[in-house]
Structure 1
Amino acid sequence: MQQQKISIPTLIALLATTTTAFTPIVSLALSAPGALAQTAANPKSEADRLYGQANQQYITSQFQAALQSYRQALTVYQEIGDRFGQASSLGAIGTTYWYLGQFQRSVEFCERSLVIARDIKARQPETYALGCLGWSYASLNRYPQAIEFYQQQLTIAQILRNRFTEANALRGLGQVYNSQGEYQKALERHQQSLEIVRTLGNRQEEAKLLGEIGWSYQSLRQYQPAIDFYQQSLIIQRVVGDRFHEGITLTRIGTLLAAQNQPELAIIFYKQSVKVREDIRQGLRELPQPQQEAFVQTVAYTYNNLAVLLGRQGRDLEAQRVRDLLKVQASAVPREALQQLPPERQIWKGYEVILNKAIELHKELTQLESTLPPSRRTPTQRQRIVELRRNEQQISQQCFDFLKSPEVIALVKELKQVPDSFRITL
C-alpha cells in the first residue's frame, strides 16, 4: 500500500476545519414538558415520560433510541393537541439529527419548532429552536445566519434572565468566532459561558466549554493551557458518561500531540477516540443506511487522521484496517485495527491510572456541590471544595507530565523501532 504524502501542517490544517465541532450546549436544555409520570393511563403523562426517556438516551449518546422516543412523544403530543409539547419535541428531534450529521434536516425540524413556539408565545422552546438553528447553520458554514440566530437567542435569554440559555448563546457565538479565526473573541465568549454553567452546576456543559476553550488555545498554539483544559474536560465527560464529546476531546488531544511532532502519542489518543466512536456506531445500526453514513461523515476525520499518522510510521496494514472501519457495514470488519501495541498499551494504562484518580476526586466534588447551594454550605464544605478543585488541577498537570516522563519517552522510543512481529497484519 502506498504511503500517503501528507505533512503534519496539512494534517493540522485539516483538523482545524473539522474538529471545531458546533456541539449543542443543551443536554437537553428543555426538561420534559410536564411531570414524568410513570403511568400510560394519561396520554399527556405518557408523552412526558417518553420525552424524559429520550433526554436520558440523548445524554448518553444513544441517538437512535433517543430519536425514536422523541418521535413517539411527538405523535402523542399531536394527538392530544399539546402544542408546547410539539414544539419541544420537534426541537429535540432537530438537535438529535444534528448529532447524526444531518444538518439540513436539523434545520427543518427546528424551523417547525420555532413556528409553533412563536405562535403560542412559548419562550423556552423558542430560544431552544433558535440555538438549534444556530448550531445547524454554523455546521453548514453559513456563519451570518448562525450569528443572527445566536444573537436572537441571547437577547431573549437576557430579557428573561435565563442563565442557561444565555450560556448556550454565548458558547454558540464563541464557536462561530473560533471557526472564523477570531480566537481571542471566542475565548471571551466561552469564558463568559463557562462562568454561567459553573454557577448553575451543569457538569456536562462545563466539560464541553472546557473543550472549546482548549481548542481556542490550541488554535493560538498555546499548547500547555490547551491540554490542561482538554484533560479537565475529559475527566468530567468520563464522570457524566458523555461519550460523544469524550470522542471529540480525545481527538483534540491527539491533534495537539501531532502538532507537537509526537505522532506516536497522537496515535494512542486517536485510537481511543475511534473506539468511542465505534461504540456509538454500534447503537445506530438499526437506522437507515443514509443516516448511518451521515453520522460517519461527522467523525471520519478522526479515522482518516489516525490512518495518515499510522501510514507515516510505516504501519500501512494497520492504517488500512482503520480506513475499513469507516464502511457503514463496519460490523463485518474486525476491530483489530484498534488493538494497541504493547508500548501503546503501557502508556495508556499509566495515563488512565492518573485520570481515574482525577475522576474519583471529581465525583466527590460533584457530590459536595450538588448537595447544597453555595449560600448554605458549611465552612468545612467550602474548604473541601477549594481543595478538591486545586487537587484536580494538580492531577491534570500530572497527566501532562506523565506524557513527558522518562518512562513514556522510553516506550515511545520502542514504538519508533517496532519490529514487524508487533505490527498489525491483515
Structure 2
Amino acid sequence: MSARRRWRVMGRRWRSTGRLAHRLGEAHVLRAIGDVQQFREEREAALARYGQALALYREIGAKLGEAHVLRAIGDVQQFRKEVEAALASYGQALALYREIGDRLGEAHVRKAIGDVQQFRKEVEAALARYGQALALYREIGDRLGEANVLRAIGDVQQFRKEVEAALARYGQALALYREIGDRLGEANVLRAIGDVQQFRKEVEAALARYGQALALYREIGDRLGEANVLRAIGDVQQFRKEVEAALARYGQALALYRAIGAKLGEANVLAALSRLRIDDDPPESRRLLEQALALRRAINDRYGEGANLGNYGIALIHRGRGAEALPFLERARDLFASLGLTHVVEDMEQRIAAAKGEGG
C-alpha cells in the first residue's frame, strides 16, 4: 500500500472515530440534561432526553451508556408508579450490565428492582434482591452502596413492623455513612431512625433524631432534606396535638419546598396541613387538599393523589364522619384501580365499607 493510500485510510478512520466520539459525547450530555430535569421533577422532559440518549447509545453500540440510561428511565417510571414499565427497563439494564461485566451497575439495578418490589409489598422478593445487591457491593468494596442497601433493608423491616431489626440495619448503615464521611447518608438514616421511634410513640427520641438530621441537612446545605425533616417534626407535633407548633414547622417546610421548586414536597406538606385543619376549619382543609391534589396531577403523581384522598377519607372516618369520607375513599379506590394496585384497592374497599357502616 502506498504512503498516500495509507494516509487516506487513516484519515477515514480518524474521521469515523471523531464522529463516534462526537455522538458519544452528545449522548452523555443528553443523559445529563435528563438527570437535571428528573431532579427538577420535569418527568416528561427527562424521559424525552433519555430517549434521545438511548437511541444514540444504541446507534454507536455503547452498551454501558445504554444500560445507564435504561436504569434512569426505570427510575422515572418507578417514581410515576409505572411499576411494570420500570421493571422492564431495569431488566434490560440488568442484562446489559451482566453482559459487559459491570458489577457496580448490576448492584445498583438489583437494588432498584428491590425498591419496586418493596413498593408492591412483595417484601420477600425485595429482600432477596437487596441481599443480592448487598453481596455485590461488599464484593467490590463499595461502602456507600452497602450503606444504602442496608438502609433499604431497614425500610422493609420497618414496614413489616420488625422495629428492632430495622433499627439494627439502620445502625449498621449509620456506622458506614459516618466511616466514609457521607453526611447526607448519615442525615437520611437518622431521619429513618426517627421515623421508627415516631411509630413506637417514642416522641422525644424521635424529635432528638430529627434534630440531629436537621442540623446535618443545614450544615451541608441540603434544603430538600431540611424541608423533609421539618415536615417530619411537624408530624410529631401534630400527633402530640401541638397544633401551633405543627403549623409553624409545616410552614417552614412549605416555604423551603416552594423556594427550591419541589412540587412533590409541597404537595406532601399541603396534604398534612389539610388533615391538621380538618376539625377547626373544614373549608380551609378542603382547599388545602385540592391544592395538594392539583400539584400531584401537575407532576403526574397519580399514586400520591390517591394516597392523599385515601388518607383524608380515613381521617374523616376516625372522626365519625363516614358519610363525608365516602367520596374521598371512592376517588382513591378508582385511582388505585387505574394503576393496577390490587392490594391498595382492596384496602380502600374495606375503608369504604367501614364508612358506609359508620354513616355520620
- Shorter-chain TM-score: what band? 0.5 to 0.7
Q: 1:317 to 1:239 in 2, by over 3 A?
A: farther
The residue that corresponds to 1:118 in the other structure is: 98
- Contact 1:134–1:145 (CA<8 Å) still a contact in 2? yes
Deviation (angstroms), 1:180: 0.8
Equivalent residue for 2:273? 306
Distance 2:46 2:216 in 1: 22
1:140 matched to 2:107? no
> How far off is 1:206 after superposition?
2.5
- Using structure 2 for the length normalisation, give the TM-score: 0.67
Q: 1:324 aligns with which of 281, 290, 309?
A: 290
Matched-pair contact (CA < 8 Å) for 2:268–2:292: no
Partner SS, residue 311 of structure 1: coil
What's the offset of the Cα at 1:71?
Answer: 3.4
- Residue 152 of structure 2 is matched in structure 1 by 172
CA distance in 2, matches of 1:98, 1:243: 23
**1:129-185 alpha-carbon deviations (Å, 9 max, x no partner):** 111111111112221111111011011111122212111211110000011111121
- Measured after TM superposition, the shift of residue 70 of structure 1 is 3.4
Greater RCO (CA < 8 Å, at least 6 residues apart): 1
Cα 1:245–1:93 change in 2 (3 A) is farther
1:58/1:140 CA distance change after superposition, 3 Å? same
CA distance in 2, matches of 1:137, 1:242: 28
Query: Partner amino acid for 1:164?
Result: L
Preserved CA contact (<8 Å) 1:61 1:243: no
**1:62/1:283 contact within 8 Å kept:** no
Cα distance in 1 between the residues matched to 2:46 and 2:61:
22
Q: Amino acid of the residue matched to residue 276 of structure 2?
A: L
Residue pair 2:104, 2:140 contacting (<8 A) in 1 also? no
Query: Where in structure 1 are there 5+ consecutive unaligned residues?
Result: 1-38, 285-294, 333-426
Aligned partner of 1:217 among 197, 203, 215: 197
TM-score normalised by L of structure 1: 0.58
Shift of 1:123: 1.0
Q: Which has the higher helix share?
A: 2
Match of 1:97 among 74, 77, 88: 77
Match in the other structure for 1:75: 55
244-253 or 74-83, which moves further after superposition? 244-253
Question: 1:101 Cα deviation (Å)?
Answer: 4.1
Instruction: Give SS of 2:108's match.
Output: helix
Q: In 2, are the aligned partners of 1:214 and 1:226 still within 8 Å (CA)?
A: yes
Decide whether aligned partners of structure 1 residues 78 and 303 sit closer, same or farther in structure 2, where only a CA change above 3 A counts: same
3-state SS of 2:121 partner: coil
Distance 2:75 2:131 in 1: 19
Note the 1:7-406 alignment, pairs <5 A.
Answer: 42-56=22-36, 58=38, 66-238=46-218, 242=222, 245-275=225-255, 302-312=269-279, 314-328=280-294
Q: Report sequence identity in percent.
A: 28
Q: Quote the residue 1:31 is aligned against.
A: none
Larger Rg: 2
Gaps of 5+ in 2: 1-18, 299-360
Distance 1:197 1:66 in 2: 30
Task: Give 3-state SS (helix, strand or coil) of 1:254's partner.
Answer: helix
- Alpha-carbon distance in 2 for matches of 1:99, 1:205: 20
SS in structure 1 at match of 2:294: coil
Question: Is the 2:87–2:116 contact (alpha carbons within 8 Å) kept by the matching residues of 1?
Answer: yes
